[in-house]
Amino acid sequence: MANILVTGGAGYIGSHACKALAQAGHTPVTFDNISTGWADAVRFGPLERGDLLDRARLDEVFATHQPAAVMHFAALSQVGESMAQPGKYWRNNVSGSLNLIEAAVDAGCLDFVFSSTCATYGDQDGVVLDENSDQAPINAYAASKRAIEDMLRDFENAHGLRSVIFRYFNVAGADPDGEIGEQHIPETHLIPAMIEAIQGKRDGLTVFGDDYDTPDGTCIRDYVHVSDLVDAHVLGLNWLKDGKGSRVFNLGTGSGFSVREVIDASRAVTNREVPHTIGPRRAGDAVKLVSGSTRAATELGWTPKRSDMATMIADAWRWHQGEPYSA
Ligand code: UDP
């Protein structure tokens, strides 16, 4: 039972991680600048406002809370934006993480759980994506995440920092209790954008390209429920506490869904049509990203429980019909 510093704890995945940590008996201390997250989402432990680019503020928070470990979620995470504004991604994600890692090492906090991404594998259709696959990012978001993975390895060699690196596939759904969920302004991710289109909150969904080399021409992704994903983080924390050493884990289910298949699945769950049009491809998109690893299951004992497409859409749909965060 310990204080865990959760950067980005006011964001979508970070807030669900805080809930899972609190349920496991820990105190999640959120560090967040509330630039894309929501103070309303911080319900399971204290909120420390601050920016990762502010090293003095980080030192203050480490001194106040003496965390036993860091879970690092805070990041800019939009593929399209990263292609248009790479500097923003290198500064916030890479420089911010460097500050955080140095502050953690200086505070003697040497257990580190990091949110990385399957996008670091790039575009390798036909290749089974396991943790030993080549990393060849094709967008600045993924490049920034891979740089942080490299940084963690260098700090392990020099300073003994131990890390569990999770490479997420596509995270979806919302807290099964309906207490917290996903809210981005503007929304760019497929499932919430699709729900906004159904609700008439946007002018329909644009499908980013239907001329890919896939059975229906749209991109294929591996979707995992946010509550399953954060369960893996608690297991990852225990892994480090048990002294098992640094490890990388893919977090995906191994099932691929095309954009069209997600739209079809949502029709069945919501009983509504998704108004949509076909647009051009989005820069930086890989054709297909599906996990080909069972390492998280076999080594961590991770068993996804809600990661079937219908449940993910149903949980997201329920959340989006409720009261959104206002602050
Ligand atoms: N996508 C889409 N329209 C949208 C948002 C996403 O067609 O409004 C597609 C996107 O091109 C990708 C998939 O849906 O193939 C998942 O995209 P998302 O942004 O949700 O996650 P990413 O894979 O970029 O992390």
Instruction: Determine, yes or no, domain membership for 178.
Output: no
* Same-domain pairing of 142 and 277: no
* Same-domain pairing of 91 and 109: yes
Give the Cβ contact number of residue 281 at 10 Å: 14
Q: Is the confidence at residue 125, as pLDDT, over 90?
A: no
How far apart are the CA of 44 and the centre of ligand 1, in A?
30
* Same-domain pairing of 49 and 127: yes
* Same-domain pairing of 205 and 126: no
* Same-domain pairing of 285 and 298: yes
**Domain housing 161:** 3-172+223-251
* Same-domain pairing of 74 and 139: yes
Ligand 1: atom nearest CA of 219 is: 15
* Same-domain pairing of 125 and 246: yes
Instruction: Determine, yes or no, domain membership for 96.
Output: yes
Instruction: Determine, yes or no, domain membership for 42.
Output: yes
Q: Is the confidence at residue 288, as pLDDT, over 90?
A: yes
Q: Is the confidence at residue 327, as pLDDT, over 90?
A: no
How far apart are the CA of 173 and the centre of ligand 1, in A?
15
Q: What pLDDT digit, counting tens, does each position of 141-175 carry?
A: 999 999 999 999 999 999 999 999 999 999 999 99
* Same-domain pairing of 161 and 270: no
* Same-domain pairing of 37 and 126: yes
Instruction: Determine, yes or no, domain membership for 180.
Output: no
Query: At which of 231, 251, 271 does a domain end?
Result: 251
* Same-domain pairing of 161 and 262: no
Say which of 89, 121, 141, 223 is annotated catalytic.
141
How far apart are the CA of 190 and the centre of ligand 1, in A?
5
Q: What pLDDT digit, counting tens, does each position of 240-270 carry?
A: 999 999 999 999 999 999 999 999 999 999 9
* Same-domain pairing of 41 and 167: yes
* Same-domain pairing of 233 and 305: no
Distances from the Cα of 132 to the Cα of 129, 275, 317, 319, angstroms: 8, 40, 36, 36
Is 257 within 8 Å of 95 (Cβ atoms)?
A: no
Q: Is the confidence at residue 18, as pLDDT, over 80?
A: yes
Rounded to an integer, the average pLDDT of 283-292 is: 94
Q: Is the confidence at residue 324, as pLDDT, over 90?
A: no
Which of 175, 126, 113, 103 has the alpha carbon at shortest distance from 290?
126
Ligand 1: atom nearest CA of 286 is: 15
Determine if ligand 1 sits within 6 Å of the CB of residue 189: yes
The residue whose C-alpha atom lies closest to atom 25 belonging to ligand 1 is 170
Residue 2 pLDDT class (50, 70, 90 cuts): very high
CATH number at residue 168: 3.40.50.720
Burial of 203 per CB tally in 10 Å (0-12, 13-18, 19+): exposed
Instruction: Determine, yes or no, domain membership for 184.
Output: no
Instruction: Determine, yes or no, domain membership for 326.
Output: no
The residue whose C-alpha atom lies closest to atom 12 belonging to ligand 1 is 219
Q: What pLDDT digit, counting tens, does each position of 46-63 carry?
A: 999 999 999 999 999 999
Which residues contact residue 255 at a Cβ distance below 8 angstroms, ignoring those fewer than 6 apart? 222, 223, 290
Provide the CB-side half-sphere exposure for 92 (13 A, CA): 23
Instruction: Determine, yes or no, domain membership for 126.
Output: yes
How far apart are the CA of 82 and the centre of ligand 1, in A?
14
The residue whose C-alpha atom lies closest to atom 13 belonging to ligand 1 is 190
Determine if ligand 1 sits within 6 Å of the CB of residue 259: yes
Instruction: Determine, yes or no, domain membership for 327.
Output: no
Q: Tell me the three state secondary structure of residue 290.
A: coil
Mutate to test the pocket of ligand 1, among 188, 189, 207, 264 (most ligand atoms within 8 A of CB): 189
- Tally the domains of the chain: 2
Determine if ligand 1 sits within 6 Å of the CB of residue 220: no
The verdict on whether 121 is a catalytic residue reads no
Determine if ligand 1 sits within 6 Å of the CB of residue 205: yes
The H or E element that residue 90 is part of is none
pTM above 0.95, yes or no: yes
CATH number at residue 300: 3.90.25.10
Distances from the Cα of 105 to the Cα of 62, 68, 75, 148, 258, angstroms: 10, 12, 20, 15, 42
